C-alpha cells in the first residue's frame, strides 16, 4: 500500500483501535510515522479530530509493507493536516557503545546530517531511536496508548 504524508491509518490492537499518521518520506529510510495517543472501541467520525490528538511517539517503519503483508491489521482511513508540532523532520538518536557495551556517546540524526554528544541533555531523552521499528514493537507500543 502506498502511503503519503498526511495519511491516517487505523490499526487493530488487542486493546482496541489505534491511529497513526504518516508525517515524512525519506529517500533512504522507511517513512516517519507518528502514533496518536489513545485507543478506541470504534472509529471516531472526525478524522481531523484524530489527527489533532497528541503524538505518543514517532518511528521509522515500513507501514505500507506491514499492511500489505498482514503483519499489521489496518487500513488507511483518510488524510489530515499534520500538526505544526510534527511538521519538522524529527531528530532520532543512536547510542554508540564502547567495547564493554557502555554508551560512550550518542549520535543524533535529523534526516540529513549527524551530530554527536558525549553528555546528552534531558531534552534528548524523549527523542525516538534511529531504528526501523518492527510490526511487533509497533503493536506493543500502540497497545500502551
Q: How far is CA 63 from CA 6, 40, 102, 103, in A?
A: 13, 20, 32, 30
Residue with cell 543524533: 108
Name, in order, each residue with C-beta under 8 angstroms of 135's C-beta and a sequence gap of 6 or more.
Answer: 66, 71, 72
Specify whether the CB–CB gap between 50 and 8 falls below 8 A: yes
pTM, entire model:
0.91
pLDDT by residue, tens only, the chain of 145 residues:
799 999 999 999 999 999 999 999 999 999 999 999 999 999 999 999 999 999 999 999 999 999 999 999 999 999 999 999 999 999 999 999 999 999 888 899 999 988 888 877 777 888 899 999 999 999 999 998 7
- With residue 108 as reference, give the H or E element that holds it: strand 103-109
Amino acid at each position: 500500500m502506498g502511503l503519503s504524508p498526511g495519511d491516517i491509518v487505523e490499526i487493530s490492537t488487542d486493546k482496541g483501535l489505534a491511529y497513526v499518521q504518516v508525517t515524512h518520506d525519506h529517500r533512504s529510510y522507511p517513512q516517519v510515522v507518528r502514533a496518536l495517543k489513545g485507543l478506541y472501541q470504534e472509529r471516531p467520525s472526525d478524522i481531523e479530530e484524530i489527527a489533532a490528538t497528541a503524538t505518543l511517539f514517532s518511528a521509522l517503519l515500513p507501514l505500507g509493507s506491514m499492511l500489505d503483508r498482514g503483519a499489521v491489521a489496518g487500513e488507511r482511513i483518510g488524510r489530515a493536516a499534520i500538526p505544526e508540532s510534527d511538521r519538522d523532520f524529527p531528530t532520532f538518536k543512536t547510542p554508540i557503545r564502547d567495547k564493554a557495551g557502555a554508551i560512550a556517546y550518542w549520535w543524533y540524526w535529523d534526516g540529513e546530517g549527524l551530530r554527536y554528544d558525549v553528555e546528552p541533555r534531558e531534552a534528548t531523552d524523549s527523542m525516538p531511536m534511529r531504528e526501523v521499528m518492527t510490526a511487533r514493537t509497533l503493536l506493543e507500543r500502540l497497545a500502551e496508548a
